[in-house]
Amino acid sequence: MSRQRLRRHLPGGALALAISLCAAPSFAASGYNKPPEPILGTMHTPLPPSAIGDPTNRTLLMVQQAQYPSIKRVAEPYLKLGGVRIEPRTRARHDASSGYGIRACLEGFSLIDIASGKERKIALPAGACPGMPGWSPDGKRFAFNNTVADHVELWVGDVASGTAHRVDGVALNTILDNDIQWLDGGNTLLVKQVPANLGAAPSRSEAPIAPEIKESLGGKGESSTYESRDTLTGPEDEVLFDYYTTSQLAKVDVATDKVTPYGKPATIAGVDVAPDGKHVLFETLKRPYSYVTTWERFAKDTSVLDTTDGSVKVIDSSPVADRVPVRGVPIGPRDFGWRANAPATLVWAEALDGGDWKTSVPNRDKVMMQGAPFTAKPVEVLRTPQRFSGMAWLAQGDEPFVYEYDANRHWMRVTRVDVASPGKAPKVIWDYSTDEKYKAPGSLVMQRQPNGSVVVQEDAGKVYLRGNGSSPQGDRPFLDRYDLASGKTERLFRSSADAYERVGSVLPGGTRFLVSKQSPVDPPNVFMATLGATTSAADGEAAYANSTTPVTHITDPMPQVRGAKKRLVTYKRKDGVDLSFTLYTPPGYKEGTRLPAVLYAYPQDFADPSQAGQVSGSQKTFDFLRGYRLLLLAGYAIIDNASFPIVGDPKSAYDTYLDQLVADAQAAVDKAVELGVVDRDRIGVTGHSHGALMTANLLAHTTLFRAGVATSGSYNKTLTPFGFQNERRSLWAATPVYEQASAFFHADKIKSPLLIMHGMDDANPGTEPIQSPKLFQAIRGLGGTTRLVMLPYEPHWYTAMESNEQEVYEMLTWFDRYVKNAPARQATTK
């Protein structure tokens, strides 16, 4: 249905409403709507740059990012092939590697010398579209790709000269990622380039015309639900996929720009350089391709290239993995990687439970190792009771940190294992629930070695842990030092209570470190912190007094929004579960004034009620207003990130999903009203993705909200029949649960106005674009008040400036009409 025909069935356009801080929304000639000032100007304010420190801690690379690209950029034509979106014109990947957004162009780079604070801007051509840069291990250079009209260039930056140059004769292939890697300390790059003489792209007519056929010849095949339009659909797609993903590995001498090809062109996916800089692990996709899953699970060969003689050794050949259980892993060898502290030793895992977490076995995985020249039989070094999740190696020694995860209990176990003595029992270091925020030990601080490998940073037998420092008062990030011999932990740094400070890199010796610091009125800046004498904090916790010296001097890009205030609010659900939200009030707010409000939440699943209400996030961060938060500038209060836990055994928690959802909402609304800030009769609700389902369900099952805005939601869970969120049962095993959770089946109860928005090119499994039109049709057919806005070219998260302007315009107009300026209800809501 066209936009014009849709309008006949939707409530009218912009409202000429007088609001305290904004003029009435205007209509843009392009067909997109724009919100009024000061919201519009805030959306167009440039973001401050972000800092990327070099491995030697001498230089910061400042990266300038745009708030939003233009719709012209987002609308660049692309092909949907095997789970990637490919731009034929530029031969670049259209979507971000996460699959949830659009690959964006950075706006520029500058270099800051950490010692002196001197900044130098890197000159780039007008209209450049650079990607995220990567430092060389020696910190002397950085490399990045740059997308131009018909290919992707390779560029190398030089710290000493403060310049960057294009490497001529290289057209990068960025489609399956891993397009640029440093091969040694900083003199050579390994790249994936478009093969020479590949020729013009095949047209679809050059492939044989044939029916699209999928079949199943028995055996269970439950797996995540993928959109058929993004998987391959026939021989024509296979030909195009081969053409655009075929790469040639090549070495680039960054001093001379000499390019030396390695091996033959192939459909190369993952690429990983060994610590010795001579061996390269790479994956080659092979036919037959699958039409029901994406390229990550295609059949493939895992091989090692020896760059000294060009020889290739195939380590493993795996078949297509299109029958992997939801939250499971493929059978056979998987997750290949290099041992970080050995020249060229491979490490991988193999499932012992058929890849299915529902199978009860003593051990789920075994971990194997094999060293160059890869002719000896692989050695089993350990077995893990839960799913193997990786290793973190020290620079020397045979005892890495081993991570294993229990998806059913949300539990992480970290051990140290002597891989040189496979029969020796592992030493448990940490054993904790990943839902536990207050006692989380933090993450090991890693460092890049001169050869490029990444290891755990160690100083005199001690390693460092960096964490969020969650507490009932909010996050206060910390840096700890852990003694490998005694197992004792010492706190070196904790963020001050009046700011949000997070440690970036730790300098050798552990007495100096780079810290990112921000506050509600100060944008994030980098400081050099130096440890002082031991002291005792006000809360009794031992700590060090630290002195800091500013490295960057970034100013506030949005001073117009600093008048908005926020506070942490804690409360309880009727069953005693602790909850919290952040309450934002608009600039100029006077205490005691009751405001219209918008509640935003995203339901999350917890096995333990004591962890469900733990506070996360900080009230001391510097806010960049985006999306629904921009409504602060129109006089709304925002009940932000309200806790909406779904608590219970993961095997059955969704049996009470609706009851808990309603209880979460009731508690949040009651508390906001109790504070004297929010008008109970003028509250709207909004959410994205799983939060959009929440929004629709709250309108169907409560009278707490006057209206709702649901973006990119999944409203009919029978379309994802093998599980959703933390629900592990299939539709056929738990039919009532799927029906209860699906707002589509309760459309007849949605009496409050619901604005539904969705990106037309949403590729997120479970939130296919068809979900929103079907809910709209149901509500409309049942006589409800609703509006459907489908955003062209947009994925799961809206990317273009025009699309984001439209979203905010629609939200503001909808809530102004049905919440802020709605007539009083006849009866008091509960």
Q: Lowest mean pLDDT of 73-82, 459-468, 539-548, 762-771, name the range.
A: 539-548
Give residue 326's pLDDT band: very low, low, confident or very high (50, 70, 90).
confident
Give 711-744 pLDDT, tens digit per residue: 999 999 999 888 888 888 889 999 999 999 999 9
Q: In what order do the strands lie in the sheet with 92-93?
A: 79-81, 84-87, 92-93
Q: Is the pLDDT of residue 219 over 80?
A: no
Give residue 408's pLDDT band: very low, low, confident or very high (50, 70, 90).
confident
Question: Residue 483: its pLDDT value, please?
Answer: 97
Q: Which of 762, 772, 803, 816 is catalytic?
A: 762
Question: How many whole angstroms separate alpha carbon 271 and alpha carbon 251?
Answer: 13
Give 484-507 pLDDT, tens digit per residue: 999 999 999 999 999 999 999 999
Q: Is 309 a catalytic residue?
A: no
Question: Residue 672: its pLDDT value, please?
Answer: 98
Pairing of strands 134-135, 411-416: unpaired
pLDDT > 70 fraction of the chain, expressed in percent and rounded: 91
Please give the average per-residue pLDDT across 609-621, as a whole number: 91
Please give the average per-residue pLDDT across 112-140, as a whole number: 96
Pairing of strands 152-158, 141-147: antiparallel
Q: Is 762 a catalytic residue?
A: yes
Give 684-706 pLDDT, tens digit per residue: 999 999 999 999 999 999 999 99
Question: How many whole angstroms separate alpha carbon 131 and alpha carbon 146?
Answer: 6
Which helix (DSSP H) or strand (DSSP E) does residue 60 occupy? Answer: strand 59-65
Question: Residue 6: its pLDDT value, please?
Answer: 33
Give 751-805 pLDDT, tens digit per residue: 999 999 999 999 888 899 999 999 999 999 999 999 999 999 999 999 999 999 9
Answer whether 797's CB lies under 8 Å from 760's CB: no
Q: Is 690 a catalytic residue?
A: no
Answer whether 161's CB lies under 8 Å from 121's CB: no
Question: Residue 21: its pLDDT value, please?
Answer: 38
Q: Mean pLDDT, the chain, as a whole number? A: 91
Q: Which of 223, 290, 470, 689 is catalytic?
A: 689
Give 618-632 pLDDT, tens digit per residue: 999 999 899 999 999
Q: Lowest mean pLDDT of 216-225, 414-423, 558-567, name the range.
A: 216-225
Question: Residue 653: its pLDDT value, please?
Answer: 85
Q: Which of 480, 796, 803, 816 is catalytic?
A: 796
Give 646-678 pLDDT, tens digit per residue: 998 888 889 999 999 999 999 999 999 999 999
Q: Lowest mean pLDDT of 28-32, 111-115, 148-152, 433-437, name the range.
A: 28-32
Phi-psi category of residue 807: left, alpha or beta, with phi > 0 → left and psi -120 to 50 → alpha = alpha
Answer whether 519's CB lies under 8 Å from 495's CB: no
Please give the average per-residue pLDDT across 101-123, as a whole number: 93
Q: Is the pLDDT of residue 552 over 60?
A: yes
Question: Residue 1: its pLDDT value, please?
Answer: 35
What would the two tokens of residue 520 be? 């509600």
Answer whether 286's CB lies under 8 Å from 298's CB: yes
Give 302-325 pLDDT, tens digit per residue: 999 999 999 999 999 999 998 888
